[in-house]
Amino acid sequence: MKSLTTCLCICLSLTLMAGPTWADQEAAAEQQTEQAKEPVRHWRLVTGQQYAQMDPGPRQTYVAGLSDAFNLMRTQSSEYEWIVKCSINVQAPQLQTMFENWLKDHQDRWQNAASRLYLMALRENCEARAQQQQPQQQQ
C-alpha cells in the first residue's frame, strides 16, 4: 500500500510539473478564438488632424491610396466618374499638395474623416479648374 501511495504521489507531482493538460490547452485555444471573434473597437478613420500630423511620406502614400480606391469605385457606380475625370494625369504629389492646401484653408473641418475631406477638396479643386478653363475656351 505504501508503494502505491508513493507511486500516486510521484505521478501527481509529474502531472503538475508537466504544465497545462490537453483540456487546459483546449480551453485556452477556445478563449483565443472567442477573443478573435470580438470586433476591434479601437480602429477609427484617419481624421484631417491625424493626417496633418503625419510625416510627408505617409501622407503621400495615404493620398495615393485614396486616389486609387476612389478611382476603382467608378467600376461599381457611375456616381464616382467625376473623380476619374478630375484626377486623370495628376500624380500623387500633386494630389497631396492640392489636399494639403485645401486642409490649410479648412482647419475647422479637421475633426472629420480625411477620406471625406479629400473628396471635398478634390471636388472643389476640380470645379475651380473647370471654371478657369471656361474663359480660355471662349477666347
Domain boundaries, the chain: 48-138
pLDDT tens-digit map of 9-29: 444 343 444 445 556 666 666
Quickly state the pLDDT bin for 8 (edges 50, 70, 90): very low
Cβ–Cβ < 8 Å for 102, 50: no
Report the C-alpha gap between 11 and 75 in whole angstroms: 67
* pTM more than 0.85: no
Report the C-alpha gap between 96 and 59 in whole angstroms: 7
Burial of 46 (0-12, 13-18, 19+ CB in 10 A): middle
Q: Residues 83-98: what's their mean pLDDT?
A: 89
pLDDT tens-digit map of 38-68: 555 556 789 999 999 999 999 999 999 999 8
